[in-house]
Chain A
Amino acid sequence: MTTSSGNLAQKAVTETAIKIDKLNKWYGDHHVLKDVSLDISEGEIMVVCGPSGSGKSTLIRSLNHLEEYQEGVVSVFGQPLSRDRQSHKIIHQTMGMVFQNFNLFPHLTVLQNCTLGLTWLRKMSERDADKMAMRLLDRVGIAHLATRYPGQLSGGQQQRVAISRSLAMEPKIMLFDEPTSALDPEMVKEVLDVMIDLAKTGMTMVCVTHEMQFARQVADRVVFMADGEIIEVGPPEQVLVNPQWDRTREFLQHVL
């Protein structure tokens, strides 16, 4: 097995990008996150895996407050987040998110999807925004589709647009919630390639995914979750090859 090619090894000093402290969440009486704590360093690639219903989506969506949680603290670059304006600002300035089913805006062209935030929130001039968006689209290899509408693209192309759209806001941290689960096997690779490229640029990434190959290749650490708890955290060669817990091994047998 090749060793992980993450950025962490090359970085001498790392700052904590996200600090999750004793996170607890209930849906009614259903306890879906149980005392989850985790530190993610700047530039780290963190892959979260686990069986369905284990709370992976809930965890990653708690980070940017798409879900509310009842107990615990999430800090981003040392700033504890709450429900106020200031926290919202920090979240939007530092975190981007890519969803399982893309969630592109169907009434806007690919280019407009990417420039929307730039022109309306950053107040960038239309020309600058277009230039920046085109550069990003070019990076993910779909600049030639800029004038199409999302409905006219394949799933893999749509997901790459979604990644460009998030990147346009220049986030420091990217959250991916099963970005390839809705894709045909042939398209999975084109999205993963984009993510691997992104990982090489030193972006902090938190990825919920079932692509173990991807985890082995780029992850600095892998988190295994089950029943709302983090069972194992560690470098991929440890968690994926030599798991310490029976639950992890059982899961890996199903996936690999």
Chain B
Amino acid sequence: MDDLNVKNQPALKQFVPTPPRPPRKSEKGIFGTIRHRCFNSIGNSLLTLCVATVLFYLVKHVLDWAVFNAVFIADNRRQCMDISPDGACWAGVISWFNGLIYGRFPVDEQWRVNIGVLLGLVWLLPLMSKRIALRNFILLSWIGLYPFVGAYLFLGGRFGEELGLVHGAMTCLALAFLTIIYANWILSSLGKKGLNELFVPLVSRLVERRIHLLSFVAVWLLVALVIASGLSQVSLEPVPIERWGGLFLTFIIAGFAITMAIPVGVILALGRRSKLPVIHWLSMTVIELVRSVPLITVLFMAVTLLPIFLPADMEFNKLTQVLVAVCLFAGAYMAENIRGGLQAIPKGQYEAAATLGLGYLHTMVLIILPQALRMMIPNIMTSFISLLKDTTLVSIIGLFDIMLMARNIANDKDWVGMHTEPLVMISVLFFILCYSMSQYSLNLEKRLKVDR
């Protein structure tokens, strides 16, 4: 009967959509905008003028002290005062610059620090390439293998003597992995298969399954052997850990804390949600205990208590203890961040994963954690930034990080009582580091937002 109704009505009008037109653009330009925003009424104009004057005086004084009246070349603080009594004395910072960066690392061996840090960055470079074999393992290898290379470079020593056998072997494996990644990068840009596929034809004749894995392992071991034979010829001057310091040490501690925060945090967060009571309570205790105590206390506990709990013949240096403490601290805070992210994932995601047949590990690693971590990027970055700043606390337990080095300047007989300038310099340095971190996180967020 609906059909009948339609027939009796007059012919329908045809709908034609209105053609689109571009939006109107504002034609004010920068001066127009300023006038419109800041001088649109008498009150606002006065306010703008006041703020501008205050700003001008502030900036002028800061610049006068830091740049125009500052002394850059002098032998000691006396000279600085004589040249310009009310300017900054950057000469002191400059003469201590090396110490601020490298601590008391022997000057002749400082190239090793540079190489080590550079290698750490170079390791991550291939991440830029989208299609490269083993790409998924670059970050993993950086976390798991790079520390061995770094430690080898910074500590020095000969294979089998100062350098333990395990450490030596891991160093070779790490360098071999790096070589393979770079070879793959070059090969993939040439349109060829990765180096790890080299032995596939050979292996496929011997076994049926896991051909690619076995081929990769074979190539890896081969390259590692070549590197080992090379490295066993060189001997680096041993540098004791006590001489590490400055920004270099700060980077080591903060870098370690930041990279370990997520794995430790994920394990603790998942542990806390676990249905097994032992795991649940253990994770919860660790998280709550560490979170309710200041970092300084955690650090002191690590240095004084840890040796008591451990067997007497197991002796750790201070740095290792600090690293363990910082890692726990970072992990506990991160665990709560991640837990927040996990709670925000709707139940439907778990159900969809379950109906596809994904088990717990697959569901977590492929579906839940990527979303939870992505959601939490701002919080995670905030934690990273405060971690970077918090690591300066290690100076309190006597590690010569950048903070302690800066305070040392004031004890130097040439620069007695010079406190302000080193601290200003450190502030600027940390501002640059932290600001670029937060900018990076904004960028990351924007890039990952596309898929929401």
| Binding partners A and B | yes
Q: Which residues of A contact B (CB under 8 A)?
A: 64, 66, 88, 91-93, 95-97, 99, 101, 103-109, 116-117, 120-121, 149-152, 162, 165-166, 169
Residues of A within 8 A of B356 (CB): 92, 116-117, 121, 165-166, 169
Residues of B within 8 A of A93 (CB): 357
Quick check: A66 and B451 within 8 Å, CB to CB?
A: no
Q: Nearest chain B CB to A168's CB is how many angstroms away?
A: 9
Residues of A within 8 A of B85 (CB): none
Residues of B within 8 A of A92 (CB): 355-357
In the complex, B160 has a CB within 8 A of chain A: no
Quick check: B367 and A105 within 8 Å, CB to CB?
A: yes
Contact for A106 among B357, B362, B366, B452, CB less than 8 A = B452
Q: Nearest chain B CB to A223's CB is how many angstroms away?
A: 21
Q: Nearest chain B CB to A106's CB is how many angstroms away?
A: 6
What 4 new A-B contacts, CB under 8 Å, besides A121-B358, A162-B352? Answer: A92-B355, A105-B349, A107-B451, A152-B451
In the complex, B95 has a CB within 8 A of chain A: no
In the complex, B371 has a CB within 8 A of chain A: yes
Contact for A149 among B346, B370, B451, CB less than 8 A = B451
- In chain B, residues 405-452, which have Cβ atoms closer than 8 Å to a Cβ of chain A? 450-452
Quick check: B450 and A149 within 8 Å, CB to CB?
A: yes
* Given A107-B374, A151-B452, A120 contacting B366 (CB threshold 8 A): yes
Highest count of chain B CB atoms <10 Å: which of A105, A121, A149, A165: A105
Residues of A within 8 A of B370 (CB): 107
User: What is the bound-complex CA distance between A88 and B351, given in angstroms?
Assistant: 14
In the complex, B354 has a CB within 8 A of chain A: yes
Q: Give the nearest-CB partner of B373 in chain A.
A: A107
Residues of B within 8 A of A66 (CB): 351, 354-355
Contact for B352 among A88, A105, A149, CB less than 8 A = A105
Quick check: A106 and B450 within 8 Å, CB to CB?
A: no
User: What is the bound-complex CA distance between A121 and B354, given in angstroms?
Assistant: 12
Quick check: A104 and B357 within 8 Å, CB to CB?
A: no
Quick check: A169 and B374 within 8 Å, CB to CB?
A: no
User: What is the bound-complex CA distance between A50 and B366, given in angstroms?
Assistant: 37
Query: 26 A–B contact pairs at CB < 8 A?
Result: A64-B355, A66-B351, A66-B354, A92-B356, A93-B357, A95-B355, A96-B355, A97-B351, A99-B351, A101-B348, A103-B349, A103-B352, A105-B352, A105-B367, A105-B371, A107-B371, A107-B451, A108-B451, A116-B358, A117-B358, A121-B362, A149-B450, A150-B451, A151-B451, A166-B356, A169-B357
What 0/1 readout, one digit per residue, does chain B (346-387) give for beta carbons within 8 Å of chain A?
Answer: 101101101111100010001100110010000000000000
Residues of B within 8 A of A165 (CB): 356
Quick check: A117 and B351 within 8 Å, CB to CB?
A: no
Residues of B within 8 A of A105 (CB): 349, 352, 367, 371
User: Chain B's interface: helix, strand, loop or mixed, by majority?
Assistant: helix
Residues of B within 8 A of A109 (CB): 451
Q: Nearest chain A CB to B364's CB is how many angstroms away?
A: 12
Residues of B within 8 A of A99 (CB): 348, 351-352
User: What is the bound-complex CA distance between A66 and B366, given in angstroms?
Assistant: 20
Q: Nearest chain A CB to B10's CB is how many angstroms away?
A: 26
Q: Give the nearest-CB partner of A61 in chain B.
A: B351
Quick check: B355 and A166 within 8 Å, CB to CB?
A: yes
User: What is the bound-complex CA distance between A165 and B354, given in angstroms?
Assistant: 13
Quick check: A106 and B371 within 8 Å, CB to CB?
A: yes
* Given A116-B356, A117-B357, A165-B356, A103 contacting B351 (CB threshold 8 A): yes
User: What is the bound-complex CA distance between A166 and B440, given in angstroms?
Assistant: 37
Q: Nearest chain A CB to B354's CB is how many angstroms away?
A: 7
Q: Nearest chain B CB to A57's CB is how many angstroms away?
A: 11
Q: Give the nearest-CB partner of A101 in chain B.
A: B348
Highest count of chain A CB atoms <10 Å: which of B349, B356, B450: B356
Q: Nearest chain B CB to A22's CB is how many angstroms away?
A: 25
Q: Give the nearest-CB partner of B351 in chain A.
A: A66
Residues of A within 8 A of B452 (CB): 106, 149, 151
What 0/1 readout, one digit per residue, does chain B (88-124) give for beta carbons within 8 Å of chain A?
Answer: 0000000000000000000000000000000000000
Q: Nearest chain B CB to A155's CB is how many angstroms away?
A: 14
User: What is the bound-complex CA distance between A165 and B106, given in angstroms?
Assistant: 60
Residues of B within 8 A of A95 (CB): 355
Q: Nearest chain A CB to B36's CB is how many angstroms away?
A: 36
Quick check: A103 and B451 within 8 Å, CB to CB?
A: no
Residues of B within 8 A of A149 (CB): 450-452
- In chain B, residues 109-151, which have Cβ atoms closer than 8 Å to a Cβ of chain A? none
Residues of B within 8 A of A150 (CB): 451
User: What is the bound-complex CA distance between A110 and B452, given in angstroms?
Assistant: 12
- In chain B, residues 151-171, which have Cβ atoms closer than 8 Å to a Cβ of chain A? none
Highest count of chain A CB atoms <10 Å: which of B352, B362, B452: B352
Residues of A within 8 A of B355 (CB): 64, 66, 92, 95-97, 166
User: What is the bound-complex CA distance between A120 and B352, given in angstroms?
Assistant: 15
Q: Identify the 9 closest CB pairs spanning chains A and B, nearest first.
A: A92-B357, A149-B451, A103-B352, A103-B348, A97-B355, A117-B356, A151-B452, A107-B370, A107-B371
Residues of A within 8 A of B348 (CB): 99, 101, 103
User: What is the bound-complex CA distance between A151 and B451, given in angstroms?
Assistant: 6
Q: Give the nearest-CB partner of A108 in chain B.
A: B451
Residues of B within 8 A of A108 (CB): 451
Q: Nearest chain A CB to B2's CB is how many angstroms away?
A: 14
User: What is the bound-complex CA distance between A169 and B354, given in angstroms?
Assistant: 12
User: What is the bound-complex CA distance between A169 and B358, given in angstroms?
Assistant: 11
User: What is the bound-complex CA distance between A256 and B84, given in angstroms?
Assistant: 93
User: What is the bound-complex CA distance between A117 and B353, given in angstroms?
Assistant: 9
* Given A92-B356, A106-B452, A165-B356, A120 contacting B351 (CB threshold 8 A): no
Quick check: B362 and A120 within 8 Å, CB to CB?
A: yes
User: What is the bound-complex CA distance between A11 and B438, given in angstroms?
Assistant: 65
Q: Give the nearest-CB partner of B356 in chain A.
A: A117
Residues of A within 8 A of B357 (CB): 88, 91-93, 117, 121, 169
Q: Give the nearest-CB partner of B367 in chain A.
A: A105
Q: Nearest chain B CB to A87's CB is how many angstroms away?
A: 12
User: What is the bound-complex CA distance between A105 and B451, given in angstroms?
Assistant: 10
Q: Nearest chain A CB to B376's CB is how many angstroms away?
A: 13
Residues of B within 8 A of A103 (CB): 346, 348-349, 351-352
Residues of A within 8 A of B346 (CB): 103
User: What is the bound-complex CA distance between A63 and B351, given in angstroms?
Assistant: 13
Quick check: A120 and B451 within 8 Å, CB to CB?
A: no
Q: Nearest chain A CB to B245's CB is how many angstroms away?
A: 42
Contact for A104 among B351, B352, B362, CB less than 8 A = B352
User: What is the bound-complex CA distance between A143 and B362, given in angstroms?
Assistant: 26
